[in-house]
């Protein structure tokens, strides 16, 4: 009964999405005279309620482990802890798609409820576009991945969840990225709506901005967490592999970063209108392309457990309709949209445009590198594109971007003179140069990490300069957010550069009782013992590691063998200090009884993820700041309207 209720709610929600779409387009067509126009907002709101109900039913089914539902039987188990039962509801294709449409429905309902800034016609167009996107995903769910499908002969017990995915981090990693993608879909609907009515105004940018900010924060967190998971779980000691799936999450982030900045220019300066629209379309298309690459299995990747070619076809069709349609509309409409306010090259806008172009170039490089194997495979040549391409080619655009990022926020809007901020530029340049000279004299560092260290240190200082001379208690939250995010980028950069410049690696065969050194660490192999878990066996090394002869800390890295399905994983062990991490992996046993130990000392590697969190924190600050000031404006507008009404009444 619960499953049927969920399915019925889902069909009804899909019907309302269709209504929202049709009524929306009709209202745009006849300028709101149609009788259906009044239905658009209620349709969006009820749709949000229904799809939430549907998702709630699925979670309920998982909570009570109803094995007559196919999805529950193939992904859950009655003995699983409750948290993994609940997370199991969206830890699979069907459930995650339902989560996606639920968040999308809620977002639509929220816009319909609170967004009153835009002209009604643009609002109708936006909700119509949102209806199209939602309807596509409903079709996907209902026609090819029904989460509520029953089984005629329910099994006695469920199959359980892939053991690798039973990790608390992975309970939150996919939904976080998903929420980010959905946020970008809302931005996409706003962009299409504004394009349909040609009303690309600062108000449009203000309405879109919180969604972009929210999506961007979630993507930042998702990428940071995913990177850390790959770092400790995959046991290669690396934190970024330029894997297609990693790139698939990075590309929407790059586009969203560019969109965020250009929407800010549009909101406060009424410039960059078409460019913002374009980025709104690109950002969402990158999340769709990412989903497509992950789900279709068209590129080989570590995320291969999510693969299904038939679903890939469905997503490709949706992608073609959404993005192809939007780009067609863009090609036909964009030249009728005024570019907006002009500005001088040396201005805040100028710096933002420069960095927008750089971000887009990096995005193009990552996209090209990710799709290149797909292209050559069409000619039967197999290649894999990795760090030797991405790192240097990306750096060509990243380095000027970082330099402009350091001083851009100091420039004034519209028009400024570069020599006005001459001192700050000199300070940044001096810091970078000093760091360059210092590090190249002190240690032998490769070019890219050297540049990264120097620019990171310079940027860390320069990013704080916008606060100078301001009354800190009166500085808007959005400015604090910008400073925190830019500082976070510097911190991450220093972490990355330090990791690749100063990491020491040691591969040693050590007998029990023997020791190995790496950097300042001395590691003693105290023993190796077999251990067993619920569905795996492992050998576990007991290592005592001491830093510069200090007190020893015990590490227990494992090499695990799962038997259903047969799989070998390494569980690395870490010792974190303020100045870096010791990373240990235990390997095979050599014929003479010694054990292979792989040790890394990675100075300041943790800064990579702390920086990422700082960037996200900056985004949260900016989001809160924007929402609060929106609220204030709204209250002010209400009060003005009230007074005017009073005055009219008196008159």
Partner 1 sequence: MSWRLWVPLFAFALFVGLAAYQLTQPKDDFVESRMVGEALPYFDLPPAMEGAEGISNATFADGKPRLLNIWASWCLPCIAEAPHLESLKEQGAEIVGVAIRDRPEDIARFLARHGNPYSRIGRDDLSEVQLAIGSSGVPETFVIDGKGVIRYQHIGDIRADDVPVLLAELEKVR
| Nearest of 646, 627, 647, 637 to residue 213 by alpha carbon | 627
Shortest distance (Å) from residue 337 CB to partner 1: 10
Which CB atom, from 414 or from 589, has the smaller least distance to partner 1?
589
Cα separation, 525 vs 527, whole angstroms: 6
Instruction: Show contacts with partner 1 in window 332-351 (CB under 8 A).
Output: 334-335
Coil vs helix vs strand at 315: helix
Among 82, 143, 331, 650, binds partner 1 (CB under 8 A): 331
Shortest distance (Å) from residue 305 CB to partner 1: 15
Among 2, 142, 151, 316, binds partner 1 (CB under 8 A): 316
Shortest distance (Å) from residue 291 CB to partner 1: 12
Which CB atom, from 1 or from 378, has the smaller least distance to partner 1?
378
SS3 annotation, 100-148: HHHHHHHHHHHHHHHCCCCCHHHHHHHHHHHHHHHHHHHHHHHHHCCCC
Stretch that binds partner 1, among 87-95, 316-324, 339-347, 540-548 (CB under 8 A): 316-324
The contacts of residue 185 (CB under 8 Å, 6+ apart) are: 104, 107, 130, 133, 284, 287
Which CB atom, from 249 or from 370, has the smaller least distance to partner 1?
370
- Please give the C-alpha separations between residue 13 and each of 43, 56, 92, 128, 384, in angstroms, as whole numbers: 9, 14, 21, 15, 43
Find residue 508's DSSP bridge partners: 597
Stretch that binds partner 1, among 152-160, 317-325, 352-360, 642-650 (CB under 8 A): 317-325
Coil vs helix vs strand at 534: coil
Q: Please, are residues 588 and 597 in contact by the beta-carbon 8 Å criterion?
A: no
36 part of the interface to partner 1, by CB under 8 A: no
Burial of 493 from C-beta contacts in 10 A (0-12 / 13-18 / 19+): buried
Among 129, 170, 323, 559, binds partner 1 (CB under 8 A): 323
Shortest distance (Å) from residue 321 CB to partner 1: 10
- The residue to which tokens 């967004």 are assigned: 115
Stretch that binds partner 1, among 130-138, 233-241, 256-264, 369-377 (CB under 8 A): 369-377
292 part of the interface to partner 1, by CB under 8 A: yes
Nearest 5 degrees, angle CA 62-CA 68-CA 71?
A: 50
Q: Which token pair is 627? A: 């929402």
Among 21, 278, 432, 435, binds partner 1 (CB under 8 A): 278
357 part of the interface to partner 1, by CB under 8 A: no
Which CB atom, from 126 or from 285, has the smaller least distance to partner 1?
285
Stretch that binds partner 1, among 67-75, 95-103, 261-269, 327-335 (CB under 8 A): 327-335
Coil vs helix vs strand at 270: coil
Coil vs helix vs strand at 524: strand
536 part of the interface to partner 1, by CB under 8 A: no
Stretch that binds partner 1, among 141-149, 368-376, 449-457, 570-578 (CB under 8 A): 368-376
Among 159, 234, 371, 624, binds partner 1 (CB under 8 A): 371
Q: Please, are residues 544 and 552 in contact by the beta-carbon 8 Å criterion?
A: yes
- The residue to which tokens 């062990």 are assigned: 573
Cα separation, 512 vs 99, whole angstroms: 50
Stretch that binds partner 1, among 294-302, 420-428, 448-456, 519-527 (CB under 8 A): 294-302
Burial of 549 from C-beta contacts in 10 A (0-12 / 13-18 / 19+): exposed
Which CB atom, from 135 or from 323, has the smaller least distance to partner 1?
323
Instruction: Show contacts with partner 1 in window 575-604 (CB under 8 A).
Output: 588, 591
- The residue to which tokens 């795996």 are assigned: 536
Q: Would you say the C-alpha torsion 308, 314, 317, 322 has a positive or negative sign?
A: negative
Which CB atom, from 78 or from 313, has the smaller least distance to partner 1?
313
Shortest distance (Å) from residue 288 CB to partner 1: 11
Which CB atom, from 323 or from 620, has the smaller least distance to partner 1?
323
| Nearest of 570, 572, 594 to residue 584 by alpha carbon | 572
Phi and psi at residue 519, in whole multiples of 5°? 55, -130
Stretch that binds partner 1, among 67-75, 277-285, 395-403, 526-534 (CB under 8 A): 277-285
Among 38, 155, 169, 309, binds partner 1 (CB under 8 A): 309
| Nearest of 167, 1, 185, 183 to residue 91 by alpha carbon | 167
Query: Which x/- pattern, by CB under 8 A, does the window 378-407 give for partner 1?
Result: x-----------------------------
302 part of the interface to partner 1, by CB under 8 A: no
Among 163, 312, 408, 612, binds partner 1 (CB under 8 A): 312
Q: Please, are residues 504 and 603 in contact by the beta-carbon 8 Å criterion?
A: no
How many residues form the binding site for partner 1 (CB under 8 A)? 30
Which CB atom, from 324 or from 387, has the smaller least distance to partner 1?
324
328 part of the interface to partner 1, by CB under 8 A: yes
Shortest distance (Å) from residue 319 CB to partner 1: 7
The contact set with partner 1 (CB under 8 A) reads 278, 281-282, 285, 289, 292, 296-298, 309, 312-313, 316, 319-320, 323-324, 327-328, 330-331, 334-335, 371, 374-375, 377-378, 588, 591
């Amino acid at each position: 009964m619960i499953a049927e209720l969920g399915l019925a709610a889902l069909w009804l929600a899909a019907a309302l999405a269709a209504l929202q779409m049709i009524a929306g387009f009709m209202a745009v067509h006849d300028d709101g005279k149609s009788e259906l126009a009044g239905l658009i907002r209620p349709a969006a709101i009820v749709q949000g309620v229904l799809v939430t109900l549907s998702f709630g039913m699925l979670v309920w089914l998982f909570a009570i482990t109803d094995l007559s539902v196919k999805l529950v039987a193939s992904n859950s188990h009655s003995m699983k802890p409750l948290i993994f039962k609940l997370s199991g509801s969206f830890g699979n294709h069907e459930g995650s798609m339902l989560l996606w449409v639920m968040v999308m429905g809620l977002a639509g309902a929220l816009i319909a409820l609170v967004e009153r800034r835009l002209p009604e016609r643009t609002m109708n167009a936006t909700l119509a576009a949102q209806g199209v996107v939602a309807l596509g995903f409903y079709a996907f769910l209902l026609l090819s991945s029904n989460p509520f499908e029953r089984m005629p002969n329910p099994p006695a017990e469920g199959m359980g969840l892939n053991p690798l995915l039973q990790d608390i981090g992975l309970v939150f990693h996919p939904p976080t990225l998903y929420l980010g993608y959905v946020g970008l879909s809302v931005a996409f609907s706003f962009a299409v709506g504004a394009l349909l009515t040609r009303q690309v105004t600062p108000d449009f940018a203000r309405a879109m901005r919180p969604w972009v900010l929210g999506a961007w924060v979630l993507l930042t967190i998702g990428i940071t967490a995913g990177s850390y998971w790959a770092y400790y779980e995959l046991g290669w000691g690396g934190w970024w592999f330029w894997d297609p799936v990693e790139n698939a999450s990075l590309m929407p982030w790059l586009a969203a970063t560019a969109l965020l900045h250009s929407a800010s220019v549009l909101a406060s300066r009424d410039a960059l209108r078409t460019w913002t629209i374009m980025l709104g379309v690109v950002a969402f298309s990158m999340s769709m392309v990412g989903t497509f690459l992950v789900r279709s299995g068209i590129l080989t990747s570590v995320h291969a457990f999510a693969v299904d070619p038939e679903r890939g076809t469905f997503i490709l069709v949706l992608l073609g309709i959404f993005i192809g349609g939007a780009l067609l509309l863009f090609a036909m409409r964009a030249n009728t949209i005024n570019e907006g306010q002009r500005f001088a090259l040396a201005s805040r806008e100028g710096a933002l445009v420069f960095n927008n172009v750089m971000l887009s170039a990096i995005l193009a490089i990552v996209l090209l590198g990710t799709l290149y194997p797909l292209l050559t495979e069409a000619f039967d040549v197999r290649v894999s594109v990795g760090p030797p391409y991405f790192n240097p080619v990306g750096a060509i655009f990243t380095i000027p971007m970082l330099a402009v990022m350091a001083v851009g926020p100091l420039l004034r809007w519209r028009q400024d003179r570069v020599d006005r901020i001459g001192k700050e530029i000199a300070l940044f340049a001096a810091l970078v140069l000093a760091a360059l000279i210092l590090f190249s004299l002190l240690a032998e560092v490769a070019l890219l990490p050297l540049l990264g260290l120097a620019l990171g240190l310079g940027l860390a200082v320069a990013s704080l300069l916008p606060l100078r001379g301001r009354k800190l208690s009166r500085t808007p939250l959005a400015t604090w957010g910008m400073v925190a995010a830019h500082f976070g980028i510097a911190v991450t950069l220093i972490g990355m550069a330090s990791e690749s410049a100063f990491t020491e690696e040691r591969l040693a065969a050590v007998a029990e009782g023997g020791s190995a050194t790496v950097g300042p660490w001395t590691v003693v192999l105290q023993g190796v013992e077999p251990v067993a878990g619920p569905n795996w066996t492992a050998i576990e090394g007991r290592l005592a590691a001491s830093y510069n002869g200090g007190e020893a800390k015990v590490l227990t890295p494992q090499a695990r063998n799962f038997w259903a399905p047969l799989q070998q994983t390494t569980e690395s062990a870490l010792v974190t200090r303020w100045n870096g991490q010791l990373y240990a992996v235990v390997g095979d046993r050599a014929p003479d009884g010694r054990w292979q130990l792989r040790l890394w000392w990675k100075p300041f590697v943790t800064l990579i993820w702390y920086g990422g969190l700082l960037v996200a924190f900056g985004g949260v600050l900016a989001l809160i700041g924007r929402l609060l000031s929106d609220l204030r404006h709204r209250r002010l507008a209400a009060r003005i309207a009230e007074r005017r009404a009073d005055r009219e009444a008196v008159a």
